[in-house]
Every structure is written in structure tokens, then in C-alpha cells.
């Protein structure tokens, strides 16, 4: 019932590393068509389906339109790198903050590997910047990157701001040889 196979990457990562729990609030960046948001809605109990555990919150943002999903709030046709979008996100979040930032964002690939790599690293660095205003202390950030010469730069920035940073290569994305994820946990805050 997932909108896209990419769901299995997040399920696999979360089964192993437990980043989503009932009651957490999540920002899903690059959310279209919405499969990661579906997983997040289930795992944080955003619909309150299980009354015995806390109810979470999911906000998905994308440049594209996204079909509505019960339990999620979507901000479509919005560029995460745009300061206007960032203000809107803050206003939509409960108390203006999240526990988890997910990013499966990918720029339109040009086919020039080095350029695509750089664009995605820049998107991730921008997100890291945004995390300073919206991520709760001890929060988590999971972001996709395409490996290349600037990966270590992103990794060292993450290490400055999070206590625990690891590289993940889900089985579900083995086909795509360049794709990996950084999982950064325990945000140090300001």
C-alpha cells in the first residue's frame, strides 16, 4: 500500500536503528509522492490509531504536488532552501520544533555525477542550517547523499552538531551504487 518503493528503505533503516517512535514530530523533506510520510505517520502514531501511546506529527515538504495523506500535513510546491518556506515550516510545526528531520531529497539529476553530487550536498548543508532553528536538542537527522568528493565535508559538519553520526547503505538501495544516507543522532543544539 506504499506509494513508492522508497518506503522500504526507511522501513529497513528504522527497523534497525529505531529513529521513529510514537509521539515524535517529523519533518519529511522531499516528501513526494509520500511513501516516507506514510511510514512516518504509522510509526509516530500521527493518526492516533493506537490510543495507548502518544500521538505524533508529520509535515512533508516538496517542490512537487503531493496527494493528501491522512495523518500528514503537506507543504507542496515549496523549495526547502527558500527562507519563506522555512518560516512557513516553523509556523506549521507544533511548538515550531521537530524531533526528527528526514531527507530523501534529490535534485533533478543532470547526469554529470560531480555536479549532481555537489547539488545534493548543498541541499543537505542547507537543511543542517535549518535544523538550528527547528530541531530539538537530542533530535535526529537522516539525509540522503550521493557519494563524492564533498561527502566528508557534510559528514564533518554533522559531527560538529550531532554526537553520533553514521553512514547507512540500505539493502533496498543497493542498486543505486552512489546513494547512501547519513544518520545523525543526538543533536547538540545551540
Contacting ligand SAM within 113-142 (CB under 6 A): 123
Among 47, 75, 79, 172, binds ligand SAM (CB under 6 A): 79
Among 80, 101, 124, 135, binds ligand SAM (CB under 6 A): 80
Q: How far is the CB of 11 from ligand SAM (least distance, A)?
A: 11
Which are the contacts of 18, defined by CB distance < 8 A and separation ≥ 6?
none
Q: Does 6 bind ligand SAM (CB under 6 A)?
A: yes
Size of the site for ligand SAM (CB under 6 A): 23
Among 17, 47, 92, 106, binds ligand SAM (CB under 6 A): 106
Return the range that interacts with ligand SAM (CB under 6 A); candidates 13-21, 90-98, 101-109, 176-184.
Answer: 101-109
Q: Which residues are catalytic?
A: 144
Shortest Cβ contact with ligand SAM: which residue?
30
Q: Does 104 bind ligand SAM (CB under 6 A)?
A: yes
Q: Give the 3-state DSSP-derived string for the chain, with helices as H, strands as E and coil as C.
A: CCCCCCHHHHHHHHHHHCCCCCCCEEEEECCCCCHHHHHHHHHCCCCCCCCCCCCCEEEEECCCCCCCCCCEEEECCCCCCCHHHHHHHHHHCHHHCEEEEEECCCCCCCCCHHHHHHHHHHHHHHHHHHHHHHEEEEEEEEEEEECCCCHHHHHHHHHHHEEEEEEECCHHHCCCCCEEEEEEEEECCC
For ligand SAM, what does the binding mask look like between residues 20 and 59, x meaning CB under 6 A? ----------xxxxxxx-----------------------
Q: Does 62 bind ligand SAM (CB under 6 A)?
A: yes
User: By the criterion CB under 6 A, which residues form the site for ligand SAM?
Assistant: 3-4, 6-7, 30-36, 61-64, 79-81, 104-107, 123
Amino acid at each position: 500500500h506504499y506509494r513508492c518503493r522508497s518506503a522500504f528503505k526507511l522501513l529497513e533503516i528504522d527497523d534497525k536503528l529505531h529513529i521513529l517512535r510514537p509521539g515524535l514530530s517529523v519533518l519529511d523533506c522531499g516528501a513526494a509522492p509520500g511513501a516516507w510520510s506514510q511510514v512516518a505517520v504509522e510509526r509516530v502514531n500521527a493518526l492516533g490509531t493506537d490510543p495507548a501511546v502518544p500521538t505524533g506529527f508529520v509535515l512533508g515538504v516538496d517542490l512537487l504536488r503531493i496527494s493528501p495523506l491522512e495523518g500528514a500535513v503537506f507543504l507542496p510546491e515549496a523549495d526547502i532552501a527558500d527562507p519563506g518556506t522555512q518560516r512557513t515550516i516553523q509556523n506549521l510545526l507544533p511548538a515550531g520544533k521537530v524531533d526528527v528531520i528526514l531527507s530523501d531529497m534529490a535534485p533533478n539529476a543532470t547526469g554529470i555525477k560531480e555536479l549532481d553530487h555537489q547539488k545534493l550536498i548543498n541541499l543537505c548543508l542547507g537543511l543542517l542550517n535549518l535544523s538550528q532553528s527547528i530541531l530539538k536538542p537530542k533530535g535526529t537527522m537522516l539525509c540522503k547523499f550521493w557519494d563524492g568528493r564533498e561527502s566528508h565535508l557534510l559528514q564533518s559538519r554533522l559531527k560538529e552538531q550531532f554526537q553520533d553520526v553514521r553512514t547507512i547503505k540500505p539493502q533496498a538501495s543497493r542498486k543505486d551504487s552512489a546513494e547512501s544516507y547519513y544518520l545523525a543522532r543526538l543533536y547538540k543544539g545551540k
